[in-house]
A and B are shown apart, each in its own frame.
Chain A
Amino acid sequence: MDVVEYRAGKREGTRHEKMASRRLLAHKTSLCVKRNYLIFWGEIMTDALKEKPNAEPLPRATSAGVVVEGRYIPPPEDREGRSWVRTTAHVQADPQTLYQLWSDLENVPQWQEQIVKVERTGDRTSRWTMQAGDKTFKWNSEILAAEPGRRIAWKTIDGDLQQAGEVVFEPAPGNRGTLVTLLQEFEIGKWKSATATIGNRNPKQGVTENLRHFKALAETGEIPRVQGQPHGPRGIVAGAKEAMYGERIPTPPGQSRAAQTGSGKS
């Protein structure tokens, strides 16, 4: 199964759904789209404007993508039992390097919050352990698509969390680094998403923070942190606010593999 089908099959009626079903349709009719999720822009563009020396080729459409046939599509809206988050980052590194950093599953605890262990259990499967305070969450995950240097899609198979996601790496216009777009879906109620969250962190916020950590690690070789620094007496209010700001969530260690083996960049 492929993420496009997975999503289109489950969401109906919204604007996003229309785009998704369009993609599904395209998927069935065009080999090119099926393979690469490419849409030929030439067919919809006129030649009214010829003077655009630096215009980029329009982005290709994928599940996580933000542009379909030249139109911006907004992130999917939450519905009962299902919560979506789409987030993007502009990273100063090439798509291939970022793809490798993302695919290095055993290294994920270095940059994803509260993930303490990821073990490979097969060619496309892995077992994840999340530690949030005194609570442990475990799940199995499966890679649905892996196009080196371009995109990765995954979905949980079983366990304490149900989620699916896709990350896309595209060269930024003018080759100013890479645009990373991440779409993640959780099976979680609206109420729960708004309040309880997974391990004291709203899962949506967690996804955003994880991409931020990923970017920082890729660009600088570390993740910025203030945990462990000195401060004066906090009192009750400031302590509560620390938790509200998310400062109690442990910042991931942020050691890239290269740094761990002593060949890190500065």
Chain B
Amino acid sequence: MKALCWMGKGKVEVHTVPDPQILNAHDAVIRVTRTAICGSDLHLFDGFIPTMEQGDILGHEFMGIVEDVGKEVTNLRKGDRVVVPFTIACGNCEFCKKKLWSACDNTNPNAHLMETAYGYSGSGLFGYSHMMGGYAGGQSQYVRVPFANVGPLKIESDLPDEKVLFLSDIFPTGYMAAENAQIQENDIVAVWGCGPVGQFAIASAFMLRAARVIAIDRLPERLEMARSIGAITVDYSEDDVNVLTALKDLTGGIGPDSCIDAVGLEAHSNELQGIYDVVKTALMLEQDRPSVLRQAIQAVRKGGTVSIPGVYGGLLDKVPFGAAFGKGITMKMGQTNMHNYMKPLLERIEKRQIDPSYIISHRIGLDQAPDMYKVWRDKKERVTKIVIDPWLA
């Protein structure tokens, strides 16, 4: 089959590799009909996530048709159409029982690598480094899905792939971000980053009864998209815009009830701190560039909540913990507990409460993916979301 492989920092290539096989009794093999490039794939592309190795197959947002199942798979059969969550969960451990699926104890074969870095290991992820399990990803024509009794969501309606594909990661991730933001009715919510996760965080904040959502980005196409679903936008790249002032101005001086950092470790900033982070990460004295996180902590109202769906990887510098303590804020974060959200959000799509395909800007075949990774990284061609049909010639 054809698969998109990570070949080093800034380098991805399509290679012909063997088809995946059933390796365990609870495995399924899926023929991928649609897959997407995630913003967090750029962290891999840019070499921010350790233990990515040459030859690793990328991709954690995908869906398709069940091609084969292992002998213990009871709820899927060949021909079923499924969306697969990017976090792999066993369903039986202490964490799965608590519905903390992304903290599953049993799905990371390289748990010891993550324990070294983080103390404990989270669940295995598709196509997201050896530390996160070393599982081959889904930017390929076929993919092996472990613990197939637990993860894949069957799509039984005739909704097109594009409307349900984002249930594999970004829609639930945006939704959990809004849930983690502890939004109360009529709250004011600020969202940094109007990429796909930010878009769904904005949409979800409204669904969870926020009155006002303030969206912060610098790319006109993304800000336009945020306004299209009802947000008030702040373009931080404009010379005379100061985000903290803007958020005070838009909240009567008290600050947003909740702040959502949908940017993560590769934040851009035109302030002094942005230069600080670029220099320190270049010198390998800092792993992440947390300028959005700093700003969100600074901006949130007293007793408010900072929710972090953006990915962070390592040790962060100069995070204003004093401000966090001084205001008594709550911070919630983490990989998405996918399995809690896929079904309820599918129902919302089926009821036409939301059509997630509105974020798609590019539809490509696998062969164009290496070039599109660069377009995606450099935010050219008004790119907002790239969807891949791996069978497109």
Contact = CB atoms under 8 A, between A and B. Distances in A.
A145 B346 CA distance: 54
For chain A, which range describes its interface: under 10, 10 to 19, 20 to 34, or 35 or more residues?
Answer: 35 or more
Interface string B44-58: 000000010111110
A230 B26 contact: no
B54 A238 contact: yes
Q: Which of A176, A209, A231 has the most CB of B within 10 A?
A: A231
A229 B135 contact: yes
Contact of A227 (B1, B23, B130, B147): B23
A192 interface: no
Contact of B54 (A177, A233, A259): A233
A230 B106 contact: no
Given A215-B106, A220-B92, A224-B108, A234 B55 contact: yes
B224 interface: no
Contact of A259 (B25, B53, B110): B25
Contacts, number: 133
Contacts of A176: 94
A215 B105 contact: yes
B387 to A, nearest CB: 22
B136 A245 contact: no
**Chain A: interface secondary structure?**
loop
B20 A226 contact: no
A226 to B, nearest CB: 5
Given A92-B93, A215-B105, A234-B53, A224 B133 contact: yes
B21 A224 contact: no
B24 interface: yes
Q: How large is the interface on B (under 10, 10 to 19, 20 to 34, 35 or more residues)?
A: 35 or more
A231 B144 CA distance: 12
Given A177-B94, A225-B23, A266-B74, A231 B55 contact: yes
Contact of A225 (B57, B92, B109, B112): B109
Centre residue among B24, B90, B91, B113 by max chain A CB count within 10 A: B24
A49 interface: no
Contact of B23 (A219, A220, A228, A235): A228
Interface stretch (B10-18, B197-205, B361-369): B10-18
A194 to B, nearest CB: 16
Nearest to A224: B109
Nearest to A216: B106
Interface in B1-46: 1, 3, 5-7, 13, 15, 17-21, 23-26
Contact of B17 (A230, A235, A266): A230
Contact of A245 (B5, B51, B91, B107): B51
A205 B116 CA distance: 12
Contacts of A224: 24, 90, 106-109, 124, 133, 146
A224 B110 CA distance: 9
A221 B110 CA distance: 18
A232 B72 contact: no
Contacts of B170: none
Interface in B138-181: 140, 144, 146-147, 149
Contacts of A223: 24, 109
Given A231-B55, A232-B15, A222 B7 contact: no
A241 interface: yes
A70 interface: no
Contacts of A205: 112
Contacts of B108: 224
A255 B70 CA distance: 13
B226 interface: no
A226 B133 contact: yes
Contact of A230 (B18, B93, B111): B18
B25 A230 contact: no
A220 B72 CA distance: 11
A245 B105 contact: no
A237 interface: yes
B309 interface: no
Interface in B261-286: none
Contacts of B93: 92, 219-220
Interface of A: 90, 92, 176-177, 205, 208-209, 212, 215-216, 219-235, 237-238, 241-242, 245-247, 251, 254-255, 259, 264, 266
6 contacts: A220-B91, A230-B19, A233-B15, A238-B54, A241-B53, A246-B112
Closest 7 CB pairs of A and B: A232-B5, A232-B55, A238-B53, A238-B54, A230-B17, A232-B15, A234-B55
Given A221-B26, A224-B107, A224-B133, 10 more contacts: A219-B105, A220-B26, A220-B93, A223-B109, A226-B110, A231-B57, A233-B7, A238-B54, A238-B55, A264-B25
